[in-house]
Amino acid sequence: MNTPYLLTDKQIQDFLINGYLVLQPISLDANFHSSIFTQTLSIFNDEGNPGNNILPRIPQLQNVFNDPVVSGALESLLGPKYTMQPHRFPHLTKPGTEDQPWHKDSYFLYPKPLRHHQLRYVMAMYYPQDVPLEMGPTAVRPRSQYDAADWVYDRNKTPPEDVDIKTDKQHDVRMVCTAGTVVLIHYDIIHKGTANRTKDSYRFMFKFQFNRLEEPTKPTWNHDPTNAVYDAADAGLLQPIVKHVWNWMMGGTMMIQQSSTEQDIINWKIQLHNKDSETRLNAAYNLALSNEYHVLIEQLSNNKEIYRLEAAYALTACRYNKNVINELQTVLKKEEKNEDQAYCIAFIFSEMGSIALETLPLLVHVLEITDSWLLKKYCCQALGTIQSNNQNDVDIVVRCLIHILLDRDQQLDTVNRSHARITAALSLANIGAKAAEATLVLKDALYFDQNRYVNGNALLALERIGTSEALKIIIPARRIWQATMKQVMLEEDIALLEHRRLTSTQSQSTSNLTYELVVEIIVNILILITVILN
With pLDDT > 70 as the criterion, what percentage of the chain qualifies? 84
- Count of CB atoms situated within 10 Å of the CB of 335: 17
Between the alpha carbon of residue 232 and those of residues 12, 13, 187, 247, the distances in Å are 12, 8, 21, 11
- Count of CB atoms situated within 10 Å of the CB of 253: 9
pLDDT at position 259: 81
CA 165 to chain centroid: 26
Q: Which residue has the higher pLDDT, 390 or 191?
A: 191
Q: Is the pLDDT of residue 354 over 70?
A: yes
Mean pLDDT along residues 102-119:
89
Mean pLDDT along residues 465-491:
63
Mean pLDDT along residues 101-121:
90
Please tell me which of 106-110, 239-243, 489-493 the model is most confident about, judged by mean pLDDT. 239-243
Q: Contact 242/232 with Cβ under 8 angstroms? A: yes
d(CA 89, CA 207): 5
DSSP E strands: which ranges in 172-296?
A: 173-174, 182-186, 191-193, 203-212
pLDDT at position 149: 84
- The SS3 of residue 163 is coil
Predicted confidence band at 496 (pLDDT cuts at 50, 70, 90)?
very low
DSSP summary character for residue 110: B
Q: Contact 136/177 with Cβ under 8 angstroms? A: no
DSSP summary character for residue 237: G
Confidence (pTM): 0.87
**Lowest-confidence range among 111-125, 380-394, 516-530?**
516-530
- pLDDT, tens digit, 9 for 90 and up, residues 155-202: 334 444 444 444 445 578 999 999 999 999 999 999 999 999 999 999
pLDDT at position 3: 93
Over the chain, what is the mean pLDDT?
87
pLDDT at position 131: 98
Mean pLDDT along residues 36-45:
98
pLDDT at position 228: 87
Mean pLDDT along residues 73-89:
96
Tell me phi and psi for residue 207, to 5 degrees: -105, 125
Domains for the chain: give ranges and CATH numbers. Answer: 9-212 (2.60.120.620), 226-320 (no CATH), 352-465 (1.25.10.10), 468-534 (no CATH)
Q: Is the pLDDT of residue 478 over 60?
A: no
Question: Within 13 Å and on the Cβ side, how many CA atoms surround 430?
Answer: 32
Q: Which residues contact 405 (CB under 8 A, 6 or more apart)?
A: 421, 424, 425, 428, 438, 441, 442, 445, 449, 454, 458
Tell me phi and psi for residue 212, to 5 degrees: -80, 150
The contacts found for 98-103 with CB under 8 angstroms, 24 or more apart, are 98/195, 99/192, 99/193, 99/194, 99/195, 100/192, 100/193, 100/194, 101/152, 101/153, 101/154, 101/155, 101/192, 102/141, 102/152, 102/153, 102/190, 102/191, 102/192, 103/152, 103/153, 103/190, 103/191, 103/192
Q: Is the pLDDT of residue 494 over 60?
A: no
- pLDDT, tens digit, 9 for 90 and up, residues 355-367: 999 999 999 999 9
Tell me the sheet residues that pair with 140: 173, 191
Q: Is the pLDDT of residue 492 over 80?
A: no
